[in-house]
Structure 1
């Protein structure tokens, strides 16, 4: 390979890494600011739906950080050790199921708010919300424990060195067919159950909205929120089909074309689903929006279009 070709390949890799890293860093800044915002005031720390939102954003932010780090390592052709690769994979497997499970809890909370408005404060308490969050993380942790047990089947004693000679991915680390069966069953079960529960709460809220005793404005807002949860769940599902879809496309196109398609898939299926939560909630929620904008602008006071100064939160 000539020096010119090597230089072009290097520049192409730098270009791809830059095109993905820059928007990723922007979204990480937004997510980080949103996380800070949700911990900056008592109204956020002591409101159940904001506690759930914090956990959703935290899991998405960790996933986004891990994905970008693995992407950079992959394009830079940097090989990890087997233990290091295992840590990255298990951390990703811990936080990945958090999003759909938290969305389920958030949907149930909105359903209770519409169907049982008088009992909402007694049912959706800080204590019950904390228990729900602990259960969600416990389910995800149990999933990781099972995967680690399956990982122990890897023949590490047959390796000459722990340094990997290929890129870090699940196919290299976990060779047992049982793992793939478990992962497939777990993923299908998780998203089917989450989809059914969120859809059911959406239908229940629509029925409740037709009741004369229901606050129409509150029901309409809850319905839109649940619809947004369904869209977010769809985005979460899209991230799980990234690798199978990329594998299928790799059989149809040249390698040079595959690299470009891989970057498009990565941005669309990995980056966007992990950053939309902060934008959607931050701009939609009237309580969060002014504080978020204030923090995003590095606490510089903004003015409205009319010229009247906006009171800083």
Structure 2
């Protein structure tokens, strides 16, 4: 009798520890997520608060990048909280959330490519920049980016339809909702790997081409040295952003490798740390980089972050 009561006590204590771990992990991750979302939403509002931001191509592209990162951050954290709460979803609901997350996650590297090409044209072809990089052409580029990402999601859905859902007793999932859980066949897995490789290799080549093109142009006597130097720094930041975005795609694979090595307690703590650093923080990096580097955005952004208490400089508010 004492052995039975002792085992029940151990089970109860173990459940309380697991519950405490889940609650602590949710709080520790939700707080920085709310801060990052606040910064991103404020940045999005800033980029729509002045005509200069709506009429300049690089700011329109930046808005597209931030919008995709913000939606991705919110969806990613929603999926994290669902998993932490041990909620089991149906395949259609999980698929909808994951495909929407995949759509926005692919927008970021493609937008970085267009932003890099815009800086390349601005430095290497300054006289033709205003005729090539127009608001209309920028809008067309954004539509192409979203269309390409939507086509990829449609392909994933078609591959998913090959799975025999009719043979299942229920559409209720047996595991927690995640991107890996929606890879239900070898063809889907192969397609995902091939697409990620092609996407990031192509984006890396395009940004590197822009970077070296700007370096070569900077040696020309007719090129503005200060503008070329700033463009080089911006393109390097684009490469860093691309690497961070790539690291988020490897997040699940890294966790699966670590799950067989670390103990449960260490794994949970390491998971929370990686989630904040690898998944959340890179999505806020664009706001921090461009918001504080750009002399036009910075005073307006600080004004909105301080809820209007800090007035922007007169010269930059026009």
Residue matched to 2:195: 186
Please state if 1:238 is matched with 2:229: no
Q: Secondary structure at the match of 1:96?
A: helix
Please report the TM-score for the alignment, with normalisation by the length of structure 1. 0.95
Deviation at 1:51, TM superposition (A): 0.5
Please state if 1:139 is matched with 2:148: yes
1:71 pairs, out of 75, 80, 89, with 80
Would you say the 8 A contact 2:66–2:286 is kept in 1? yes
1:1-313 pair list within 5 angstroms: 2=9, 3-302=12-311, 311=314, 313=317
Would you say the 8 A contact 1:150–1:174 is kept in 2? no
Q: Which whole-Å CA distance do the structure 2 matches of 1:154 and 1:57 have between them?
A: 35
Please report the TM-score for the alignment, with normalisation by the length of structure 2. 0.93
Q: Which whole-Å CA distance do the structure 2 matches of 1:98 and 1:5 have between them?
A: 42
Residue by residue over 1:96-129, the C-alpha shift from the partner in whole angstroms, topping out at 9 and shown as x without a partner, is: 1111110000000000000111111011001111
Q: Which whole-Å CA distance do the structure 2 matches of 1:10 and 1:239 have between them?
A: 27
Q: Which whole-Å CA distance do the structure 1 matches of 2:198 and 2:191 have between them?
A: 10
Would you say the 8 A contact 2:299–2:313 is kept in 1? no
Deviation at 1:174, TM superposition (A): 2.8
Residue matched to 1:306: none
Figure out how many residues of one structure are paired with residues of the other and give that number.
307
Deviation at 1:265, TM superposition (A): 1.4
Q: Judging changes above 3 Å, is the alpha-carbon distance between structure 1 residues 293 and 112 closer, same or farther for their aligned structure 2 residues?
A: same
Deviation at 1:6, TM superposition (A): 2.4
Q: Secondary structure at the match of 1:165?
A: coil
Q: Which whole-Å CA distance do the structure 2 matches of 1:127 and 1:7 have between them?
A: 58
Q: Which whole-Å CA distance do the structure 2 matches of 1:135 and 1:225 have between them?
A: 23
Which ranges of structure 1 fall in alignment gaps of 5 or more residues?
303-308
Would you say the 8 A contact 1:301–1:310 is kept in 2? no
Q: Which whole-Å CA distance do the structure 2 matches of 1:158 and 1:266 have between them?
A: 35
Q: Secondary structure at the match of 2:262?
A: coil
Deviation at 1:245, TM superposition (A): 1.0
Deviation at 1:310, TM superposition (A): 5.2
Which ranges of structure 2 fall in alignment gaps of 5 or more residues?
1-7
Q: Which whole-Å CA distance do the structure 1 matches of 2:225 and 2:183 have between them?
A: 52
Deviation at 1:154, TM superposition (A): 2.1
Deviation at 1:9, TM superposition (A): 2.0
